[in-house]
A and B are shown apart, each in its own frame.
Chain A
Amino acid sequence: MTVLLQGAGAQITFLDGVGFAKRFGVGEKLVCDLSAVGEALAVNEEALLVAPPTPSVSGIELRSADFATLVEALDYAALGQSGFNYYDGRGKLIATLPYRDLRARAVAMAVHLAPLGRGQRLALVAHTHPDFAVMFYACQYAGLVPVPLPASVHLGGREAYIRHLRQLLCDCVAVAAFAPPEFVGFLREASDGLPMALAGTLEEFSQLPSASALPSPPLISELAYLQYTSGSTRFPRGTMISQSAVMANLNAIFNHGFCLTQDDRFCSWLPYYHDMGLVGIVLGCVATQRSVDYLPTRDFAMRPRLWLKLMSMNRATVSFSPPFGYVLCARRLRASDAHDLDLSAWRVAGVGAEMIHPESLAEFATALAPAGFDAKAFLPCYGMAECSLAVSFAQVGGGASIDVVDIDSLARDGEALPLVGNVLAAKRRAFVGCGRPLPGYEMEILDESGFPLSDRQCGRIHLRGPSIMAGYFGNAQASREVLSAEGWLDTGDIGYRVDGIVYITGRAKDLMIIKGRNIWPQDLEYLAEQEPEVRPTDASAFSITDNDGEEVAVLVVQCREPDPRKLAKLSERLHQVILFEFGIHCLVELVSPHTLPRTSSGKLSRSAARREYIERRDAQCAEVVVGRFASQGRRERVEAVRVAS
C-alpha cells in the first residue's frame, strides 16, 4: 500500500510506533510504502492527496453472491472496507470508491431519481468512472432500470458516436440520461430534442427535485438493467435482465465457476458496457465484497502493459480478458518488463467473449513466465449477455485444456473426431474446453432439424435456465427468433460436447467478431446501399478466416457499372466508409448483377454468398485473396477500443 503525502503539515504515524512525521513544503510530495513499516495509525488531512487503494481483505465475512437483489448485495458490501479503485493512463490512482461510499452516494442520489418513475429506463454512458457506479446503483435503489451505453469514439468519430447514442436512447425510450464529464458533451448533443427529463452529469442529477423517501426495494422479478448485446449500430438489441436472473448467474459463477477467498483482489480494464466488465466485474465484485483496480479501456488500448503493472503492484489475483487482450499485451512487452513484474499472485486469468485460440494464450504465458505467471491460471469460459453473463467455466487451476480433432471430418460431417499421435498440422484443429454448464442450466446441442446430437457432433447450442434474459427490449420479433415458448435460448453458437465439457467451434448467427469487435453484417450492407451505384439487397457481408486464422470481414456487392475505373473508385470508397464507421479493414468484392445467391423466399443468403466467395477466391490467384489487409502484416493489430458484448 502506498500513501501520498503532500502539503505543509503532512504527517503520518504508524501503529507500531514508528513515527514518521515531517513538515512538508507546499506542493512537496512524498511517496512511502506502508508495507515496509506497518499499518498507518493516523494520516492527517493535509497529507492525503488521494486515499490509498481499498484493501483486498474486506474485514467482513465473505458472502459469495448469495443475495436476492443487487441492492442487498451492496448493502452488505458497504459494511466492509473493500471497494473500487480508479487508475489513469499513467498508472496513477485518481479516485477510490469504497463500497460504503458507493452505497451512501447511491442512496442519496436515488431519492432524486425515484420521481422519474419506477421501471423507467435511465441511460448511463458507461465510461470507467466512479460516477457511473454511483448512478447504476442509484437506479437500483430508486427502482429504475439502468441502461449502460457505449463510451468509445473513433478518431474524428464524433458524429457517428452521437448518432449511435441517439439511436440507443430512442430504442430504450430513456426518460433521462447520464454521462461523466468527459462524455457529457456527446450525450447532450445526442439527446437534443428527445423527450427526456435530463441529459447531464451526476452533479446535475443531484439537482433534480427529490422524493421524500426511498421507494420500496426492487422485487426479484423486476428488471435489474438492460444490456445492449450487439455492436450493431442500426439494429440494437437490449437484453432485459431481471434481478433474479443476474443474481442466479452471479451465485453460480462465484460458487461453481470459481470460488473466492478473503484475499482475492480483481483488476480490470474491461468496458463497463460489456457484459463481462459490467456483470462479471462491477456487479460481481460488489456481490462478493472484492476490491477492484480499474484501468479505463481506452488507456488499456493505448498502453496494455499498464494492466500487468497494476496487477503486479497490487497483487491482484483475478482478472478477465477476451483472448485479444492477452495477445495485445504479449506483443507489446519489452524484454525487461517480465522481470520487473510479479504476477505470481494471479490465480484466475479468465478468458472468454470470443473464440479462444490456444496459441495466443501460450504466447502470453511464455512471455510472462519470468514474471511468475502460471499458464494453469487460464480459466476459459463461455457466455453471452442473453444469459446475464456466464454459461460455463473450465476447471479452476487446470489452464486451457485442448481437444485436437480431425479437420476433415469436422468440415465434412460436423464430427469432432479426436486425433491421436503425430498427425500433419494441416489435418488438425485444436479447440479449447470451456467446461461444463453452471448449475441451473440445461444445454442441448441440436442439428439443423432440431434433433439432439450426441457427443462429438457439432450443432447449435440451446440453453434454458434461471439466468436467461426475459427478451430484447421493445423487440418482440427478435425475442421470438431466439427464445422459444418453453424458455429455450438459441445461442447461435456452434459447438460440441465431450463428457459434458463444451467446445465452441463457431457461430451460426451472422455476427462477425473482427479483432474483438462485434460487427453485424447488416450494418456493412446498409453502408453499401447508401452508395448511389448500389441498390437495396445488392450487398452481402460475412466473415472469412484468413491464412493466419484471423476473422476478416468481406463485403460482396452487385453492381451494374461497366466502367472499371468507376468500379475501382466504388470499391475504394466502400473500404474507406467502413474503416471510418467501424474502424476495420474490409475486403470488398464487386460482382455483376444476379451473382448473389438467394433463398427460396428471395432473401439473400449470407452463408451461400460466403461459400461462393470462397470458391471464387480459390479459383483465382492468391493475390486477390490476401488483399490489403493480410498483406500488410497486421495480425498484431488488435481492436481493444470497442469491445461490444
Chain B
Amino acid sequence: MSPSPNPTVAAGGSIDSSGLIESVIRQALETIRPTATGLDGDADLAQEADLDSAEVMDLVMEIEDLLDLSIPVETTAQAKTINELTAGIALLKQGMK
C-alpha cells in the first residue's frame, strides 16, 4: 500500500505534462485493479475497470500520494474517463503554479 514516489515525479521541475499524469493514473489503477491498466483513455473508468465507490476512493488516494497533491471533489466529479481525469489534474497543477 505504501507508494514509493514515482521518481520522475519526485524529481520536480517541468513534469506536469499530460503524459506523466496519465501514467501515474495508470500506475495507481494497477494497484487497485491490475487487469485494467490497459484501459482505453476514453472508456468509462469506474464501469470498465469495475470499481465500486470505495475502490474509487482508493484510486484517488493512490493518485494523490503519487503526485503529492490533493484532488478536490470538483475534479473527480467531472471525470468519468482516464483522459478527463488527466485533463482535470493537469488544470489543477497549472492552477497551483
Q: Tell yes or no: B47 within 8 A of A by CB.
A: yes
Q: Tell yes or no: A579 within 8 A of B by CB.
A: yes
A18 to B23, CA, bound (A): 52
Q: Are A154 and B53 neighbours in the complex by a CB distance under 8 Å? A: yes
Q: Are B54 and A301 neighbours in the complex by a CB distance under 8 Å? A: yes
Q: Which residues on B sit within 8 Å (CB–CB) of A88?
A: 70
Q: Are A158 and B77 neighbours in the complex by a CB distance under 8 Å? A: yes
Contact of A640 (CB < 8 Å), options: B44, B57, B64: B57
A506 to B11, CA, bound (A): 55
**Chain B binding surface, main DSSP class:** helix
Q: Which of B44-86 contact A (CB under 8 A)?
A: 44-47, 50-61, 64, 70, 72-74, 76-81, 84
Q: Which residues on A sit within 8 Å (CB–CB) of B59?
A: 155
Nearest A residue to B53 via CB reads A583
Q: Are B52 and A584 neighbours in the complex by a CB distance under 8 Å? A: yes
Q: Which residues on A sit within 8 Å (CB–CB) of B45?
A: 155-156
Q: Are B79 and A155 neighbours in the complex by a CB distance under 8 Å? A: yes
Q: Tell yes or no: B96 within 8 A of A by CB.
A: no
Q: Tell yes or no: A321 within 8 A of B by CB.
A: no
A186 to B77, CA, bound (A): 10
A89 to B68, CA, bound (A): 12
Q: Which of B6-25 contact A (CB under 8 A)?
A: none
Nearest B residue to A632 via CB reads B50
Q: Tell yes or no: A560 within 8 A of B by CB.
A: no
Number of interface residues of B (CB under 8 A): 30
Size bracket, chain A contacts = 20 to 34
A153 to B76, CA, bound (A): 8
Q: Are A157 and B77 neighbours in the complex by a CB distance under 8 Å? A: yes
Contact of A302 (CB < 8 Å), options: B60, B81, B84: B60
A302 to B72, CA, bound (A): 13
Q: Which residues on A sit within 8 Å (CB–CB) of B57?
A: 298, 301-302, 640-641
A580 to B51, CA, bound (A): 9
Q: Tell yes or no: A515 within 8 A of B by CB.
A: yes
Instruction: Given the known inter-chain contacts A89-B70, A182-B73, please indicate yes or no for A332 contacting B1, CB distance below 8 A.
Output: yes
Q: Which residues on A sit within 8 Å (CB–CB) of B61?
A: 302-303
Q: Tell yes or no: A183 within 8 A of B by CB.
A: yes
Nearest A residue to B46 via CB reads A155
Q: Which residues on A sit within 8 Å (CB–CB) of B53?
A: 154-155, 583-584, 639, 641-642
A89 to B73, CA, bound (A): 13
Residues of B at the A interface (CB closer than 8 Å) are 1-2, 44-47, 50-61, 64, 70, 72-74, 76-81, 84
3 nearest A-B pairs in the assembled complex, by CB-CB distance:
A583-B53, A156-B80, A302-B61
